Amino acid sequence: MEWNDTPEQSAFRTQVSALLDEKLPDRYRDRKGDWQNDRVSEDPQVRETAEGWVNALAAKGWVAPHWPEEYGGAGLSSIEQFIFNQEMAKANAPRTGGRGVALLGPALIVHGTEEQKQEHLPKVLSGEIAWAQGYSEPGAGSDLASLQTRAVRDGDEYVINGQKIWTSEVHTADWLFALVRTDPDAPKHRGISFLMMDVKSPGISIRPLVDMTDEHWFNETFFEDVRVPAANVVGDENRGWYVGMTLLDFERSNISGAVTQRRAINELIEYANTDGMQISRLAERPTLCTEIADLYIETDVMFNFSFRIMTMQNAGQIPNYEASVSKMFASELLQRAAKTSAKVIGLYANISNADDDRAPMDARYARNYVHSMCESIRGGTSEVQRNIIATRGLGLPRG
């Protein structure tokens, strides 16, 4: 692996950094807003901030840096995407486009009709339309292919009945893409179709799922005789599983996770030695200093896991168990970091109300600790990742 930038890569890094210095709104730099929520805010100034930021990225093609240029992306190489994501994370800059950029766009580019591409891709890039993902169901999480939400063909439409769960931010989205069962008699992976629908379609209802930090990100989504045009199927009927699994060759190293963790540790150290000196437990518990030092080193390990994956992709290789190693390490590092941070702050880390004057750094440590609980579950549990590492990486037999 080559850790130093080439002159071309250095020039690109400078270009990204310059745009962030000039265009990134203070609202995002100071972590006071979320782009997808801001775009539908009742405050016109907040909406204007969100629109200005997406326009600044769109001018460079950086809303969807991994999309081909012909579809409005930047067509960046893996190393350029790595650099872009690294600089964005350093500046705490939010990505725009959400699941429309990351998931729907690649599916349409590979499997969609020309009409579907012309209708939906420009609206993703402009931020006009935000998308939510309808995959998981109460009985189909890790075993997603067991999904039961039913879509029955009726002329030029499908009639949908069923339920999805953990539909992140669907309450702020405009459209939903979902995997639905169109052939209940086919093998479970082969009777599924990929369908797009307007969230405001009659028969769709959304129930919020409020998490442990009293935040509303997740939802249950119910479908009662929802009618969707058959023209909204992406790819072939009953081949939706393969459409849903489509991803373009974009940078998957999670370098932003390594950068974010390093920044969080630096902020903890600075706070504990300045504003938080009165409540910090570092002096009375010197072992916490050792834990922080270990975490600092582990962020470098995480960076190198990320760098290895990017290097493989840049060489035309496909990361397999290497991605599982990186994902598992990153998830569990985040949990360790959250636990240590809470111990450094002590009992004040129990205050989760950001408006409480006694809450250190706007209750960041309390909220991070609670949020971290799900890290080793979502995106593939640590148990699943260990099985992949054992069988595909170490060649061990399946248990």
DSSP codes of every residue in 155-181: TTEEEEEEEEE--TTGGG-SEEEEEEE
Helices (H), the chain: 7-23, 26-29, 35-38, 44-58, 78-90, 98-99, 105-111, 114-126, 240-244, 255-272, 287-314, 321-345, 364-372, 382-388
Average pLDDT for the chain? 92
Residue 157 lies in a domain: yes
Q: Are 181 and 151 in contact (CB under 8 A)?
A: yes
Range of the domain at 203: 131-244
In the predicted model, what is the mean pLDDT of residues 257-268? 92
Q: Is the pLDDT of residue 128 over 80?
A: yes
In the predicted model, what is the mean pLDDT of residues 290-299? 96
Q: Are 80 and 6 in contact (CB under 8 A)?
A: no
Q: Considering only 88-97, 154-163, 220-229, 378-387, which range has the smallest mean pLDDT? A: 378-387
Q: Is the pLDDT of residue 252 over 80?
A: no
Question: What are the percentages of helix, strand and coil residues in the chain, rounded to 5?
Answer: 50, 15, 35
Q: Is the pLDDT of residue 211 over 90?
A: no
- Residues 239 and 259 reside in one and the same domain: no
Name residues whose C-beta falls within 8 Å of residue 108's C-beta, 6 or more positions apart in sequence. Answer: 116, 117, 120, 121, 234
Q: Among residues 225, 244, 263, which one ends one of the domains?
A: 244
Q: Among residues 188, 223, 244, which one ends one of the domains?
A: 244
Q: Which of 251, 298, 322, 375 is catalytic?
A: 251
User: How far apart are the two ends of the chain, measured CA to CA in Å?
Assistant: 34
Q: Considering only 4-8, 244-248, 355-359, which range has the smallest mean pLDDT? A: 244-248
How far apart are alpha carbons 167 and 220 in whole angstroms? 6
Q: 343: closest CA among 302, 299, 292?
A: 292
pLDDT at 377: 85
pLDDT in tens, 26-65: 999 988 888 988 998 999 999 999 999 999 999 999 999 9
pLDDT at 237: 96
Domain count of the chain?
3
- Residues 267 and 387 reside in one and the same domain: yes
pLDDT at 398: 83
- Residues 207 and 277 reside in one and the same domain: no
Q: Is 251 a catalytic residue?
A: yes
- Specify the CATH number for the domain of residue 237: 2.40.110.10
pLDDT at 238: 96
pLDDT at 249: 65
pLDDT at 314: 86
How far apart are alpha carbons 370 and 291 in whole angstroms? 19
Q: Is the pLDDT of residue 244 over 80?
A: yes
